[in-house]
Amino acid sequence: MDPLTIFQPAKELALEQPRLAFLGLAFVLFLSLVLRNAVPRGPLKKLPPGPRGLPVLGNVRELIGDKWLTFTALKEKYGDLMYLNAAGQHVVVLNTLQAVGDLLDRKAAVSSSRPRSIVVGIMTGNLMLPFLNPGEIWHRMRRASQDGLRSSVVPLFQPALYREALTLTVHMVSDTRVDRSTEWYGHIQRAVAASTIKMIYGKTAVHSDTDPDVRTLNIYLERLTRSATPGAYLVEIFPFLQWFPAWISPWKRMAAAAFAIDSTTFKRLFDETKEAEKKGIERPSVVKTLTERSKALGLQEEEEFWLAGAVFTGAQTMTGVLSWWLMAMILYPDVQKRMHDELDRVVGRDRLPTFEDCENMPYMQAMVREIVRWRPIDPLGLPHTTSEDIWHNGLFIPKGTMLVPNVWAINRDPGTFGEDAHHFNPARHLDKDGKLGPAPADTKEEGHVSFGFGRRVCPGRFFANKMLLINMVLLAWATKFDGERDSAGNLVGLDVDGCIDEGIVVRPVPFACNLIPRFSKATSMLQDQLSELSAQDY
């Protein structure tokens, strides 16, 4: 079955639910849910402050549109913790670094659950680590992911990451299409997908975004992120709908078909990697590191190949980060100049940069921190849920409350990052000697909170940082970046404040980016190096 045949936008599927037939029953259950979750704001159980909601519907007005901007604006009035009522569901928005540190890191034992997601649960067979609730399977898969993606194994994958970053740079600077300035996103999407597939499965080069595996996995990502959007399906609001048969529940048929297709894909790629190992083909892969410890960790085979597949979910986030970085390069020419000065000083123009050079480029390292801070691709993070009642500074947070980290507001807090926190400025991460400085407390030495919190922190963050760094270094070494300009030299067609919401991640509104070779030999040097690497077995 072609995965495209089972994918429809989540909102279309939601509208197909038999709403009218069950409206009366739905309203009764809905009202009972509201009443059941109502906690009096009395002196003994004082909830965090928040805006007054509508009868029954609660704070529906605050929960539509770009919620991170709404929450950030409301932060000025309500402070660190803000309470919302989402049609009976308790929601507490965490607006500051102190709040997420206290509740998601230091109280991780009771704040590491996820909100219920019926559709995603069926789509993934309850085997997708980021959405799993703590339990035996989650503990096994979490330990395995931490082991297989630890920082000490990253150097094994640097040759593959370098090769794909080099390929991306060659494609970007050699694109001769008339509309090349608007076609860069496809190049980045292919490169990130290829790097991730190679890293997970040890697969040889992926040369096109029409590669069957890239196409299938990108469809899986789109389907998953849209389906995970809160409120995408009525069944998440009216859970009783899950008990209706599949023949009147299109979402249930879609979810079951998605699980079958994705399981088949993940198992095939997993088996191909194992078969290559048996034939003596030695390539580093996440699959190999997982299987070496799987028996000791007690992983079942299905858990292994779904855990490997879960690593691919990071591909979409890296595509978004690199897209925001290109926008930053256009908007901040002074930053671009300082970046080029560092590259010329450390590398020069007679050879290509290497991973070893990156260790001597603190400004480029700071740039990775800064782009993930400045434009977080998941501005509200993935929500947590409390598994017990929590008291925090005299405020009551009931069991089952959804905790939403306002990553956008935390990453842009002037108190933590300076009065220019809304600007892109890598130098904020450097010390007085120009070296990479210590990160703020509770950011896990990342300089931002975009990789998550507590027991839910992203295990692939070490790979992500290396992938971003080498792609930025090679692209910056070879090219200057500029946008589309009018006859007066002013930038046009750049929607700085807009974004495309792809479910739980956001990326920039498409824009033109012109990549201009920095010196005459740059393109030929890149192509020569790529030809040399292509002759080797990757």
> Which residues are annotated binding-site positions for heme?
458
Please, what is the Cα angle at 84 between 321 and 82, to 5 degrees? Answer: 70
As annotated, the binding site includes 458
Contacts of 210 (CB under 8 A, 6+ apart): none
DSSP-H helix ranges across 332-449? 333-346, 355-358, 362-374, 407-411, 414-417
Partners of 491 in beta bridges: 485
Packing angle, helices 314-331 and 184-201, rounded to 10: 140
CA distance 240 to 245: 11
> In degrees to the nearest 10, what's the CA dihedral of 357, 360, 362, 364?
-10
CA distance 345 to 487: 34
* 235 φ/ψ sector (left φ>0, alpha ψ -120 to 50, else beta): alpha
Nearest alpha carbon to residue 173 among 451, 533, 517: 517
Contacts of 528 (CB under 8 A, 6+ apart): none
Phi, psi angle pair for 174, to nearest 5° = -100, 0
CA distance 133 to 252: 21
Query: By the 8 A CB rule, do 104 and 454 touch?
Result: yes
CA distance 274 to 137: 23
Contacts of 20 (CB under 8 A, 6+ apart): none
Token pair 């256009």 is found at 330
CA distance 402 to 18: 28
Nearest alpha carbon to residue 143 among 263, 294, 267: 294
CA distance 244 to 246: 7
Packing angle, helices 250-278 and 184-201, rounded to 10: 60
